[in-house]
């Protein structure tokens, strides 16, 4: 089993290096004439107006939070899915109870209006 992960480690290292090669090629070949107008931030062709930060929109954070809870839930479901094939029906019911409790959570978040984009 360790051989698999060593292969993946090697793959990760080479996989990070390969996209860098065209960038290096471009750095060698492409012209480089920086001037301040070219490098100004793009705002549909006009000068930038206002501060350069985004208004706080709490909704992004709430989506990320709900995603986190459901992500952990689905991670728990993977060992259940594997073990389910060899064990009796009771095991499936246990998993269904797990899923139902979290569906209650989803319905709660929905009814509280936390899933609206507003």
Partner 1 sequence: MTFWSDPINFIAEWLRGILTGWGMALDWANVLIASLGIISLILFSMMLAIFLVWVERKVVARFQDRVGPNRIGPYGLFQPFADIIKLIIKEDITPTGADKVVYNLAPVLALASVIFLWAILPLASNIYGVDLNVAILYLVATGALGTLAIIMGGWASNNKYALIGAFRMVATMISYEIPMVVALLIPTILSGTMSVRGIVEAQDPIWYFILSPLGALVFLISSIAELGRAPFDLNEAESEIVAGFHIEYTGMKFGLFYAGELLHAFTFGGLMAILFFGGYRFFGLEQYPLVGFLVFLAKAMFGYWVIMWVKYTMPRIRIDHMLAFNWKFLTPFAFFVLVVTAVLNKVLSGLDTWLFASLIFGANLIIAWITIEILRVYSRRERRLAEGNIPAPVPPAHH
Partner 2 sequence: MTPVQIVFLLTAALIIGSAVMVVVSRNLVHAALWLVATLFGVAILYAILDAGFLAVVQVVVYIGAIAILFIFAVMLTRKEMRDRGPQHRKDWWIAAMIGLLVLAGLVSVLVGQPEINRIAGPIPPDFDPVLALGHALVSPDAYVLPFEVASILLLAALVGAVYIAASRKP
Footprint of partner 2 on this chain (CB under 8 A)? 1-2, 4-6, 8-9, 51, 53-54, 56-58, 60-62, 64-69, 71-73, 75-76, 78-84, 86-87, 91, 94-95, 97-98, 101-102, 104-105, 108-109, 112-114
Residues forming contacts to partner 1 in the complex (CB under 8 A) are 1, 4, 7-8, 10-12, 14-16, 18-20, 22-23, 25-27, 29-34, 36, 38-44, 52-54, 57, 60, 63-64, 66-67, 70-71, 74-75, 77-78, 81-82, 84-86, 89, 92, 95-96, 99, 103, 106, 110, 115-117
State the nearest-atom distance from the C-beta of 47 to partner 1, in Å. 13
* Residue 25 or 108 having the CB closest to partner 2: 108
Contacts for 12-18: CB closer than 8 Å, 24+ residues apart: none
**58 binding partner (options partner 1, partner 2, none; Cβ < 5 to 8 Å by kind):** partner 2
Give the ranges where the chain is alpha helix by DSSP (H). Answer: 2-29, 58-84, 89-111
Count of Cβ atoms closer than 10 Å to residue 115 Cβ? 14
Spatial contact of 84 and 95, defined as CB atoms under 8 Å apart: yes
Q: Find, among 114, 108, 109, 106, the residue nearest to 59 by Cα.
A: 114
- Token digits of residue 42: 């793009």
Spatial contact of 114 and 99, defined as CB atoms under 8 Å apart: no
**18 binding partner (options partner 1, partner 2, none; Cβ < 5 to 8 Å by kind):** partner 1
């Amino acid at each position: 089993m360790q051989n698999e992960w060593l292969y993946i480690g090697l793959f990760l290292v080479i996989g990070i290096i390969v996209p860098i090669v065209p960038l290096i090629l471009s750095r060698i070949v492409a012209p480089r004439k920086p001037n301040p107008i070219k490098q100004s931030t793009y705002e549909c062709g006009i000068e930038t107006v206002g501060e350069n930060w985004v208004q706080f929109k709490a909704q992004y954070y709430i989506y990320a939070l709900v995603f986190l809870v459901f992500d952990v839930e689905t991670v728990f479901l993977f060992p259940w899915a594997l073990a389910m094939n060899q064990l009796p029906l009771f095991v499936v019911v246990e998993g269904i109870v797990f899923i139902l409790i979290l569906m209650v959570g989803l319905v709660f978040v929905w009814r509280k209006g936390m899933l609206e984009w507003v």
